[in-house]
Amino acid sequence: MSRDPRYDILFEPVKIGPVTARNRFYQVPHCNGMGTVHPSSMAAMRGVKAEGGWAVICTEECDFHHTGDITPAIEARLWSDQDIPIMARMVEAVKEHGALAGCELVYGGHSSHNRLSREIPMTTNAMPVSGWEPGQARAMDKTDIANFRRWHRQGALRARQAGYDIVYVYAGHNLTLLQDFISRRTNQRTDEYGGSIENRVRLLREVIEDTKEAVGDTMAVAVRFAVEELEGPEGITADGDGRAVVELLADLPDLWDVNLSEWHNDSQTARFAEEGFQEPFVSWVKEVTGKPVVAVGRYTSVDRMASLVSRGIVDFIGAARPSIADPFLPRKIEEGRIEDIRECIGCNICVSGDYMMMPMRCTQNPTKGEEWRRGWHPERIAQKGSDARVLVVGGGPAGLEAARALGQRGYAVTLAEAGTELGGHLNALAGLPGLASWARVRDWRIGQLHKLPNVELFLDSRLDAGQVREFGFDHVAIATGSVWRRDGLGRTHRRPVPGWDCGTVRTPDEIIADAAVEGPVVIYDDDHYFMASVLAERLVGQGRDVVYVTPAPEVAVWTHNTMEQGRIQARLIDLGVELILGRKLATISDEELELECVYSGNRTWVDCGTPVPVTMRDPVDDLFRALKDDPAALEAAGIASLTAIGDCLAPGLVAAAVYGGHKYARQLDTEVPLDEAPFLRENVGLSDAWPRRMA
């Protein structure tokens, strides 16, 4: 197949100062939970993207001085020359496939807590450090500013020594010293670095000039700048100080990378923002500068990408999350295989890896984070290890991915689904408010399965243990999913809540299926992810009065990790949902619930027509147990292995189900160690300076 000529514009080379990108696909800097802690994983992950056709591959944040320490965040680091070889690993992996490598230098200002270095943070003027953490940053004097400029220059030179083609001057996401100087919210200085926008932009100008002077014509200098903070006139706005900054510095850098601040605004989930939501804020930038512009917007539509360039909005299609979901997105467009693109669903599970300080994962791409440690490639997979036939029971996310990957390996696969359509609980999720894009997990896999002649799909095919044994398959994977519990058992309640069997209780599955309810509906959230809040939103949309109760101090508290929590709570408040926080269920009756304060133990009551406990799910593993409990019958049937996968093994994230199905397919007919980790680990060894004497 060949590329559609409508998309030729996306494959034009673009000059960025002294270097040239081979096309317009630009992986902007993004965190990944690997960095200098897992440098081999980080390098392999970036290298795969270069192989997939991205013309520019950037690092995550790279702190360059110990006074701007962002520990415990797992990011890149260039404090000294000893860090250069680690950073060079990524450069080598990226350049092997002809891409440019970019390094995003960061100095945190009031967001640098310096937990490792124990230095006092410093920024424009004295202020508390970010978050709820005690401590303050001190005001910088002229010596501090001169030192910062020198340290940034040293960081740029180390990036050049590591082999990078592009070095960033970073002023965005409310995470950087330079943004602290620009924003009137954080800059109350009265010297030449404060007051007017010309003064507030002075340090950014000086650092750009310092960096260009340091690297000369050997590297391009990019500026990443938040043109809008969504904080009103006190902050940076696209029609105010944001535009003024770009106008004042228009052609000074070699490239403008423009976005929103903070990160939770820049990387909104699909539940709260459509594809291209940043376009109104950045569409004017190319009118102001003659230098290339890159912007993001979780773009997955190829037509829209081409339109952005042809309309003069951007020169590069910037991406973080779409490049995670499909590292081969550019190559698939170039080869005319648009239907093969794994489109990002905008769930921000990738972001959760950074928040939880672990290597990232992806709902759509189960190989993400496993490129080095497991040797998993997003497009290639080892051929089958035998001529065995495989039965997969269940067509949800785990079953679909297992069947697809097994089929890609060359196995003869039969997928049997009890229902009349494939997708499992994805079908229900995609019908809930804001989650329509989650159907892409189902749709991409079904599309790929239809291309595999060695995979058979059977719907409306509920199987019992006897039927499974009769079919003569060599391997059987059970992916029959899970159901929500009715009795309130969960994180807070290790035993059923008294009164759960009163007859008025409805499970989330029943609410999704539009079971009859009486108001007011009280949703009890001990799951702490998205389900309780989307059920509340749906019920309000149906005209119901809804009360939301949770033992947590906030609604949907785990969604801090996907950067949604604030928006979820705001939406429920706007919808008129009554929020009762810090309370757990004590008893359930026909007309009211007894609640207990998690702090004091005090009891209160709330009127309730329909209680909906959102607490935990049970595996639907009856078939698996029936088969496993009769090993003699399995042996007689010639079934060499029986495996529960996905929610049938343990209910969890959709990402976990997809990963479980993929892992099953990868490991079939392979030796998997039981007593050692089945993946590589970084081993940095001991420092040459060890052991040290303590004074």
* Residues classed as catalytic: 31, 170, 173, 266
Cβ burial of 400 (10 Å; 0-12, 13-18, 19+) is: buried
Please answer whether residues 492 and 526 qualify as being in contact, where contact means their C-beta atoms are separated by less than 8 angstroms.
yes
Amino acid symbol at 595? L
CA angle 566, 132, 360 (to 5 degrees): 60
With H, G, I as helix, E, B as strand and everything else as coil, classify residue 580: strand
685, HSE (Cβ side, Cα atoms, 13 Å): 3
Helix or strand (DSSP H, E) at 497: none
Amino acid at 6: R
Task: Name the token pair of 390.
Answer: 């495989």
* 59: its two tokens: 């690092």
Instruction: Tell me how crowded residue 31 is: count the other CB atoms within 10 A of its CB.
Output: 22
Q: Do the Cβ atoms of 488 and 497 come closer than 8 Å?
A: yes
At residue 390, φ and ψ (nearest 5 deg) are -125, 135
Compute CA 286 distance to the chain's CA centroid, rounded to the nearest angstrom: 29
Residues 289/312, Cβ–Cβ less than 8 Å: no
Beta-strand (E) ranges in 482-530?
482-484, 521-525
- Spell out the SS3 assignment of 405-416: HHHHHCCEEEEE
Per-residue three-class SS string for 330-373: HHHHHCCCHHHCCCCCCCCHHHHHHHCCCCCCCCCCCCCCCCCC
The phi, psi pair for 318, rounded to 5°, reads -80, 145
516 CB neighbour count, 10 Å cutoff = 7
| Burial of residue 411 (number of CB atoms within 10 Å: 0-12, 13-18, 19+) | buried
Beta carbons within 8 Å of 334's beta carbon, 6+ residues apart: 3, 11, 53
Which neighbouring-strand residues pair with 499? none
> Which string of b and e fits 589-611 if b means at least 16 CB within 10 Å?
eeeebbbbeeeeeeeeebebbbb
- The tokens describing 345, both together, are 């669903």
Compute the distance between CA of residue 270 and CA of residue 50 in angstroms, rounded to an integer.
26
